[in-house]
Amino acid sequence: MKFREYEAKQIFRDAGIPVPSSVLITSPNEAAPALLKVAEKVVLKAQVDVGGRGKAGGILPANADNITSVAAELFGKTIKGLKVEKVLVEEALEISHEYYLSITIDRSRKMPVILFSKEGGVEIETLAKERPGALHRVYVDPSFVVLPDFIVRNVIGDAPKEIGKIVKTLYAVFLTKDAVLAEINPLVMTPKGVLAADGKIILDDNSLARQGISENRDLAPREAEAEKHGFSYVELDGSIGVIGNGAGLTMATLDIIAHYNGKAANFLDVGGGANSDRVMYAVRLVASMPGVKVIVVNLLGGITRCDEVAKGIVAAGISQPVIVRLAGTNEAEGRLLLEEHGYKMLDTMDLAIRAAVEVTQ
Amino acid sequence: MIYAGKNTGILVQGATGSQGKFHINLMNEYAKKIGSAGVIAGTTPGKGGQEVFGVPVYNSVVEAIEEHDIGASVIFVPAGGCGDAIMEAADARIPTVITITEHTPVHDIMRAITYARSCGTRVIGPNCPGMLVPGECKLGIIPANLCMKGDVGVVSRSGTLTYQVISELTSSGFGQSGIIGIGGDAIIGQTFSEVIDEYHADGRTKTVVLIGEVGGNLEIEGASRAIELDMPVVSYIAGVSAPKEKRMGHAGAIVEGGEGDAASKIERLQILGIPVATRPSQIPELIREVR
């Protein structure tokens, strides 16, 4: 789950990483009072979760004379499809140099990596591609609960020492927040010292509960509803509803649909131990999506009981056809129950998927 | 022997939970059928002295190894305690630890895998179905009825998709020298290349089936390793049409040296000369071609 800029900066501030002074507002009327608290010259920054926010007009300078009208302009905007609902009123900075600093996880090495560049403020992907030498990488043994000084020295090289303290603190934030990314871009040199001018933190979705977060707000409403039932669910734009167990098998189901020139309406992984209630809910959820003409159920597993799955499909009682491929225990009972109620059960996933694609053509 | 063999005594951590109990029973049914050691002990803190299907349960791994000769552990403990369970097994110097649990916090797993390595313990998983060597041993949840003894070594990041592939292989007459699920998470213990090393050292594998997914570049590392070892590989990568994987921001994509999407992964495998199936049912046909 992603934290927005204002949330990341609050976390930085609490941890002791210097950030520009700022106030978060939710309407244009709050802008002028906020400016009085912050500085004479400010920037208004839309709190929307998109890349390239500045170029898209999401960051505007303002002063005491024009602040209310600039704020009204920003609140009226939609940036890359997202409506501006929160704005950060932040002091305008006198910047003499920009750095890049982030900490993330290297999957191959199975350890955290600190990325640092003396050329910050640019698109970091562009920098990595065009001038890889300018992006410095230092790997950290995950056993360290405090970042050792020698690693800090290796990260910053001859950059100002106060950046070293920020590296150390950012690493502490990375660990205590169970983050998979903690990024400061740019980290800026100003007459007041080094400040985190922008910030981004992404949390590990498997650690939200112990971070005291009950709901992953990055999920769309139907996805969040599905998550409560323990499903992984993503909506697509085709007409073939998909229910599978296991992410790999469900992805393979989507791929085979595409192979036969069909279009999947969704990805739904019911997870392990699907009983009749869960299957019923999954079938109804997928059937409720507009444009779904047929549903293919592809469940496989030693412990999945086919009679339970069949009961769930029958109980869902939806109007669209359901084509079923089931393998597991009590297969014969499941098949009998489905056939009694007029559902098709096919022997292989290829056959089931092809039959579903034919319905839509 | 691939990680574990016929005489390997198995410990189950999280033995008294519903998953632990259920799978101790299945593992030992298979062990009885083929005459292997099977699960000989379990642990759950606070439940020492109980029995699960005749298997004694201890409070800790240390207590269990005092009484039994244990060569591998299978972990079913809930996600929050999983990293701790891996470290407990590694601390007791159990050589192989297989972690079935899913939704484990990534920082816990990084720390546990690093500690395990320093103890000489190899971790498989988390979020994996475990391993099965037909006729020798079953550690985890792979359905034994789908498998058949043979010379195809399966290594996979998936669970149920692996079962799909095994049943395609078995019904085409290709038995397996091993089936190893390495797990679908961003951070996992044993990777494709390490498992391929095991298959190579064991010497009973003629062809490797490498089943991958979107994300990361472990499949490419594994395929390159197999080529170095002169082992024929066929592959299947799930997720060509899947929605874009949730990425770890821009920095994550850079570290991975690419976006790790299925299409570019398939292209890189093909450049290495590895046949890639467009659907699982095509795998047996590709094996025939490389033999």
Can A183 be counted among the known catalytic residues? yes
Cβ burial, residue A198 (10 Å; 0-12/13-18/19+): buried
Q: Rounded to 10 degrees, what is the CA torsion of B99, B104, B108, B114? A: 40
In A286-300, which positions are buried (b, 16+ CB within 10 angstroms) versus exposed (e)? bbeeeebebbbbbbb
> Is A40 found in the same domain as A145?
no
Let me know if residue A8 belongs to a domain.
Answer: no
Per CB-CB distance under 8 Å, the chain A contacts of B129 are none
Domain termination site, one of B124, B157, B176: B124
Determine, for residues B160 and A301 on separate chains, whether the beta-carbon distance falls below 8 Å: yes
pLDDT for position A70: 97
Is A300's Cβ below 8 Å from some Cβ in B?
yes
Domain termination site, one of B97, B124, B151: B124
Confidence band for A223, pLDDT divided at 50, 70 and 90: confident
How many beta-carbon contacts under 8 Å exist across A and B?
A: 178
CATH at residue A260: 3.40.50.261
Let me know if residue B4 belongs to a domain.
Answer: no
Let me know if residue A137 belongs to a domain.
Answer: yes
Q: Give the C-alpha separation, B170 to A285, whole Å.
A: 35
Is B178's Cβ below 8 Å from some Cβ in A?
no
Q: Give the C-alpha separation, A245 to A268, whole Å.
A: 8
Mutate: best of A50, A53, A110, partner B, most B CBs <10 A: A110
> Is B158 found in the same domain as B23?
no
> Is A146 found in the same domain as A81?
no
Q: Which of B28, B39, B104 is nearest to B74 (CA)?
A: B39
CATH at residue B183: 3.40.50.261
Q: Which residues of chain B from 11 to 70 reach within 8 Å of chain A, CB to CB? A: 22, 26
Let me know if residue B193 belongs to a domain.
Answer: yes
pLDDT for position A202: 93
Tell me the β-bridge partners of A323.
A296, A344
> Is A227 found in the same domain as A355?
yes
If you average pLDDT over every residue of chain B, what do you get?
Answer: 93
Q: Give the C-alpha separation, A75 to A85, whole Å.
A: 7
Is the model's pLDDT at A279 over the cut of 90?
yes
pLDDT tens, residue by residue, A202-213: 999 899 999 999
Is A134's Cβ below 8 Å from some Cβ in B?
no
| Token pair of A164 as six digits | 């070293």
Let me know if residue B136 belongs to a domain.
Answer: no
pLDDT tens, residue by residue, A67-120: 999 999 999 999 988 899 999 999 999 999 999 999 999 988 999 999 999 988
Alpha helices in chain A (DSSP H): 5-15, 31-38, 67-75, 124-130, 149-156, 161-176, 221-228, 247-259, 276-287, 306-316, 331-340, 349-360
Q: Give the C-alpha separation, A138 to A150, whole Å.
A: 11
Determine, for residues A202 and B248 on separate chains, whether the beta-carbon distance falls below 8 Å: yes
Q: What share of chain B is helix, strand, coil (3-state, %, to 5)?
A: 40, 20, 40
Only one residue has tokens 């066929």, namely: B234
DSSP string for B119-131? TT-EEE-SS--EE
Nearest to B161 among A142, A200, A252 (CB): A252
**For residues B249 and A202, is the Cβ–Cβ distance under 8 A?**
yes
More confident call, A141 vs A218: A141
**For residues B187 and B270, is the Cβ–Cβ distance under 8 A?**
no
> Is A228 found in the same domain as A139?
no
Is the model's pLDDT at B180 over the cut of 50?
yes
If you average pLDDT over every residue of chain A, what do you get?
Answer: 93
pLDDT for position B251: 58
CATH at residue A112: 3.30.470.20
Cβ burial, residue B50 (10 Å; 0-12/13-18/19+): middle
> Is B285 found in the same domain as B148?
yes
pLDDT, mean of residues B275-289: 97
Let me know if residue A2 belongs to a domain.
Answer: no
Q: How many domains does chain B have?
A: 2
pLDDT for position B246: 46
Determine, for residues A303 and B103 on separate chains, whether the beta-carbon distance falls below 8 Å: no
Let me know if residue A228 belongs to a domain.
Answer: yes
pLDDT tens, residue by residue, B113-158: 999 999 999 999 999 999 999 999 999 999 999 999 999 999 999 9
Tell me the β-bridge partners of A181.
A104, A202
Is the model's pLDDT at A275 over the cut of 90?
no
Let me know if residue B131 belongs to a domain.
Answer: no
> Is B197 found in the same domain as B64?
no
| Token pair of A327 as six digits | 């393998």
> Is B100 found in the same domain as B51?
yes
Residue of B nearest to A210 (CA): B80
Q: What is the DSSP letter of A178?
A: T
Per CB-CB distance under 8 Å, the chain A contacts of B103 are 206
pLDDT tens, residue by residue, A124-135: 778 888 888 889
> Is B174 found in the same domain as B49?
no
Nearest to B160 among A110, A300, A350 (CB): A300
Nearest to A255 among B104, B164, B238 (CB): B238
> Is B178 found in the same domain as B78?
no
Q: What is the DSSP letter of B80?
A: G
DSSP string for A247-266? HHHHHHHHHHHHHTT--B-E
> Is A355 found in the same domain as A233?
yes
Could you give the angle at which helices B283-290 and B160-171 cross, rounded to 10 degrees?
A: 60
pLDDT tens, residue by residue, A162-186: 999 999 999 999 999 999 999 999 9
Nearest to A349 among B22, B164, B240 (CB): B164
Let me know if residue B217 belongs to a domain.
Answer: yes
> Is B165 found in the same domain as B278?
yes
Q: Give the C-alpha separation, B38 to B139, whole Å.
A: 8
> Is A264 found in the same domain as A167?
no
> Is B149 found in the same domain as B119?
no
> Is B119 found in the same domain as B146?
no
> Is B155 found in the same domain as B99?
no
> Is A254 found in the same domain as A338?
yes
The helix/strand/coil state of A308 is helix
Is the model's pLDDT at A346 over the cut of 80?
yes
Q: How many domains does chain A have?
A: 3
> Is A236 found in the same domain as A348?
yes
Mutate: best of A206, A236, A260, partner B, most B CBs <10 A: A206
The helix/strand/coil state of A106 is strand
Domain termination site, one of A67, A91, A115: A91
pLDDT for position A235: 86
How distant, in Å, are the alpha carbons of A58, A265, B253 from that of A47?
A: 8, 31, 23
Let me know if residue B137 belongs to a domain.
Answer: no
- 3-state SS of A325-358? EEEEECHHHHHHHHHHCCCEECCCHHHHHHHHHH
Domain termination site, one of B124, B158, B177: B124
Q: How many C-beta neighbours within 10 Å does residue A58 have?
A: 21
Let me know if residue B242 belongs to a domain.
Answer: yes
The helix/strand/coil state of A321 is coil
The answer for B10, left when phi > 0, alpha when psi is -120 to 50, beta otherwise, is beta
Q: Give the C-alpha separation, B287 to B278, whole Å.
A: 14
Domain termination site, one of A91, A110, A136: A91
Q: For residue A28, give every residue at least 6 positions away whose Cβ sits within 8 Å of its Cβ, in sequence order, or none.
A: A68, A71, A72, A75
Let me know if residue A6 belongs to a domain.
Answer: no
Q: Which of B93, B127, B94 is nearest to B108 (CA)?
A: B127
Let me know if residue A3 belongs to a domain.
Answer: no
Let me know if residue A202 belongs to a domain.
Answer: yes
> Is B232 found in the same domain as B169?
yes
Domain termination site, one of A182, A210, A238: A210
Q: Which residues of chain B from 257 to 286 reach within 8 Å of chain A, CB to CB? A: 278-281
Let me know if residue B168 belongs to a domain.
Answer: yes
Determine, for residues B248 and A200 on separate chains, whether the beta-carbon distance falls below 8 Å: no
How distant, in Å, are the alpha carbons of A12, A165, B112 from that of A152?
A: 18, 8, 24
Q: Which of B265, B281, B256, B267 is nearest to B214 (CA)?
A: B265
Q: Give the C-alpha separation, A202 to B87, whole Å.
A: 26
Confidence band for B215, pLDDT divided at 50, 70 and 90: confident
CATH at residue A39: 3.30.1490.20
Let me know if residue A295 belongs to a domain.
Answer: yes
Per CB-CB distance under 8 Å, the chain A contacts of B187 are 105, 107, 110
**For residues A267 and B242, is the Cβ–Cβ distance under 8 A?**
yes
Distance from CA of A220 to the nearest CA of B (A): 14
Strands B72-75, A322-329: pairing is: unpaired
Q: For residue B67, give every residue at least 6 positions away whose Cβ sits within 8 Å of its Cβ, in sequence order, or none.
A: B41, B56, B58
Can A99 be counted among the known catalytic residues? no
Is the model's pLDDT at B164 over the cut of 80?
yes
In terms of residue numbers, what domain contains B195? 142-290
pLDDT tens, residue by residue, B238-272: 988 876 644 455 555 566 555 578 888 999 999 99
Per CB-CB distance under 8 Å, the chain A contacts of B255 are 104-107, 113, 115, 137
pLDDT tens, residue by residue, B42-89: 999 999 999 999 999 999 999 999 999 999 999 999 999 999 999 999
> Is B119 found in the same domain as B17?
yes
In terms of residue numbers, what domain contains A158? 97-210
